[in-house]
Amino acid sequence: MGVINEVTFNTVHNQQKVRLFTLNNQNGMIVQVTNYGAIIVSINVKDKDGKQADVVQGYETAQEYIDNNEFYQGAICGRCANRIRKGKFMLNRKEYSLTVNNEDNHLHGGMKGFDKKLWDVKESSASEVTFQYTSPDGEEGYPGTLSVTVTYSINENNELRLDYSGTTDQETILNLVNHSYFNLAGEGSGTINNHQLQIEADFYTPLTKNLEPTGEILTVKNTPFDFTSLTGIGDRINTDHDQLKIGNGYDHNFVLKHPIHRLDLAATVIEPRSGRKMEVFTTMPGLQLYTANWIKNVKGKEDHIYQEREAFCLETQNFPDAINQSHFPSPILTPKNVYKHSTIYKFSVY
């Protein structure tokens, strides 16, 4: 099917309209996004033979995203994506307690994070759409009234670009992430172990048994985390390594080489059978590799049943739990500053 029928997203949720927006370019690339959770619903791109497929997991209707999206498929996660240890942090000598929704930790914005919000549609065209959400002071425990926007746009280079911005009326913390699950052979087509991955990172941040960062920054050299050259995602995923056991696979933040705020290459993925290639560019300092380790029997598009390690996420982000790790890049946003970051997913064939 690939392209989703926009009618299946025409519904009302919390007295607001849910809609699906279809973005096109002249090369046949089609991207669909919805204002519910600012979710990427589908990305249709051609393989080496010109055959199109949808390369992100998800659902065919708005109601399924509303009812079933516990794994954040395609969604914008916020205010703070990833984990905050025990849901607590200090800011201006005051301790804040966030909602705890992942064992003892706060994950991806809490019980009703940005992935479960209906965003306002600010602008839309055939190649671009901008969503906006205002998060009230105290939502999920966060301080400050925060206004955020995300713009999705595509161009003739088969680039899907995400531009984020945020402003606040008092100091708060912010780390917005898109949580798309990719399979470059096409969603629902089985294991991603054969995908070849390169990450522009010499270091990664290891985890405790509760999946929070230990605070260490370790070299990838001579470990299963060395993706400094193209390597099969599945080549070492079952290695007897403490960190892989903790995550049940890869669920780790990589320390990108490029200077923060400079839009630069972060990762390259190729899928040998289809010939599809995806390059990820970002201004953010971190990249989370997640190999869908906890997905089991999730019914998705076209009655596909998604299982573990049938998709991967490359989440461009600040480091997890950065507010509690003073040597990590700061996630603090002040009223004087504007939060900005950009990410590009570029598709081609090789």
As a whole number of angstroms, the distance between CA 87 and CA 301 comes to 34
What residues contact 66, with CB distance under 8 A and at least 6 apart? Answer: 13, 18, 36, 116
What residues contact 277, with CB distance under 8 A and at least 6 apart? Answer: 184, 268, 269, 270, 271, 347, 348, 349, 350
The catalytically annotated residue of 139, 200, 315, 341 is 315
Is 258 designated active site? no
As a whole number of angstroms, the distance between CA 10 and CA 101 comes to 30
Is 179 designated active site? yes
The catalytically annotated residue of 108, 179, 195, 252 is 179
User: 116, 122 in Cβ contact below 8 A?
Assistant: no
Backbone angles phi, psi at 113, to 5 degrees: -75, -170
Instruction: For residue 55, give the nearest of 275, 239, 290 by alpha carbon.
Output: 275
User: 106, 4 in Cβ contact below 8 A?
Assistant: no
As a whole number of angstroms, the distance between CA 186 and CA 182 comes to 8
How many C-beta neighbours within 10 Å does residue 102 have? Answer: 16
Question: Cα dihedral sign for 267, 184, 61, 345?
Answer: positive
User: 238, 201 in Cβ contact below 8 A?
Assistant: no
**Residue 334 in tokens:** 């002040």
Exposure of 65 in the CB half-sphere (CA atoms within 13 A)? 34
User: 47, 274 in Cβ contact below 8 A?
Assistant: yes
> 146-154 and 159-168 as β-strands: parallel, antiparallel, unpaired?
antiparallel
Q: Name the residues annotated as catalytic.
A: 179, 315
